[in-house]
Structure 1
Amino acid sequence: MPVHAELDRLDDGDLADISGQGGIYLSGDISINENGGPIQNTYFGSCSEAEKRCGARIAYRLKEDGGWMVLDDIRGKFSFEGLTLRVRAIDSGFGGDGTLFNRDVLEIGLPNIVRYDSVQFKLATSSTARPTDPGFQQTDIFSVEMQGDVVLEGNLLVFPTGNP
């Protein structure tokens, strides 16, 4: 027996009575030059003895006219299940600062378990964002190598900067 249904347009008044959840739920694996061998994705370097750079790089400035902090030579495999992304309104809390802020932020919900496999990276300071920029000088602070599982809890809030 065939069934038919009619679609009707909903106006703002009809939608005001409907509630739900919005956001994105992510699961996956990220691999960056995972094995460190000579046959790798050339975007992140070849990891050969002749190659000085091997892996991804994240550079960020703490001040507009300051130097750069970097996570450099990031490689390995990251697996996660249940990472969530949504927009959250901050209009209260934070010791009274939330009321003054009164804007939306990006909320990254951390999953219960993140798995690492052969993860390596360096924490460093740098004179430039990219190693190919003129005048590049870098000071490595320490290197990290990780194996196993890490339990993450809570939410990471990403606040916008500048005027709304």
Structure 2
Amino acid sequence: MSQRLLSLRNRLSFAFALSFLSLIAAAEMAPLEDDVLSDVSGQGGIYLSGDVSINALGGPVENSYFGSCDDVTRKCGARIAYRLKETGGWLVLDELRGGFAFEGLTLGMRTIDTGFGGDGALFNGDVLELGLPNIVRFDDVRFKIAASSTPRPTDLGFQQTDIFTVEMQGDVIMEGNLLVFPTGNP
């Protein structure tokens, strides 16, 4: 008797699921007119999680694009260069390598029209908002912060002054939001 009841229950569940799927399949998508869309509100944004590895020690085979870390005569790792002024030098993160993992980085827009000691009302515009994740994991991360005359070491006239070297291991707890304000006239 219990097998009959189980069999009947399975058939009813299957019939219900099939009926539900047929209702969904019969639903038709239709374009919305502008007047209907004007009443729709919501939030937009992006939620990011990732795991990045650049010539990480003990990781998979090193990427030759970033150089070989076994060769002591060559630099290895990635390079990020940022020009501070149109006619100025470059601030660089050099020999960047290791593993980074994060979950929950958000990216969205935010309107600033109040706060900031009264400057928010004066600004009255949109900013890019990066929501920082709770924990970022570092696995043998190393890089140098330096000043450079050119963005690439292979450029003519290259000169670099290393300011300091950073090594990180473990978890870093990050809280809050990073707001990116536009400069100049919109």
TM-score w.r.t. length of structure 2: 0.79
SS across alignment from 2:56: coil
1:126 aligned residue (131, 148, 157): 148
- Aligned-partner Cα distance in 2 for 1:50–1:110: 36
Counterpart position of 2:49: 27
Task: Tell me, yes or no, if the aligned pair for 1:44 and 1:54 is still in contact at 8 Å.
Answer: yes
Q: Which has the higher helix share?
A: 2
Counterpart position of 1:43: 65
Task: Tell me, yes or no, if the aligned pair for 2:149 and 2:160 is still in contact at 8 Å.
Answer: yes
Mark the structure with the bigger radius of gyration. 2
1:61-140 pair list within 5 angstroms = 61-140=83-162
The Cα shift of 1:14 comes to: 1.6
SS across alignment from 1:117: strand
Q: For residues 94-136 of structure 1, give each alpha carbon's deviation from its aligned partner in whole angstroms, at most 9, with x where no partner exists.
A: 2233333333222111000000000001111111111111111
- Structure 2's unaligned 5+ residue stretches are 1-18
The amino acid across from 1:116 in the alignment is F
More deviation, 59-68/71-80: 59-68
- Aligned-partner Cα distance in 1 for 2:184–2:68: 39
The Cα shift of 1:50 comes to: 4.7
Percent sequence identity over aligned pairs: 71
Task: Tell me, yes or no, if the aligned pair for 1:36 and 1:75 is still in contact at 8 Å.
Answer: no
More deviation, 45-54/69-78: 45-54
- Structure 1's unaligned 5+ residue stretches are none
- Aligned-partner Cα distance in 2 for 1:156–1:55: 27
**Higher RCO (Cα < 8 Å, 6 or more apart):** 1
Aligned residues between the structures: 163
The amino acid across from 1:153 in the alignment is E
Task: Tell me, yes or no, if the aligned pair for 1:36 and 1:47 is still in contact at 8 Å.
Answer: no
The amino acid across from 1:54 in the alignment is C
- Aligned-partner Cα distance in 1 for 2:145–2:58: 18
Task: Tell me, yes or no, if the aligned pair for 1:67 and 1:128 is still in contact at 8 Å.
Answer: yes
Counterpart position of 1:9: 31
- Aligned-partner Cα distance in 1 for 2:88–2:100: 31
Could you list the structure 1 runs, at least 4 aligned residues long, displaced by more than 4 angstroms after superposition: none
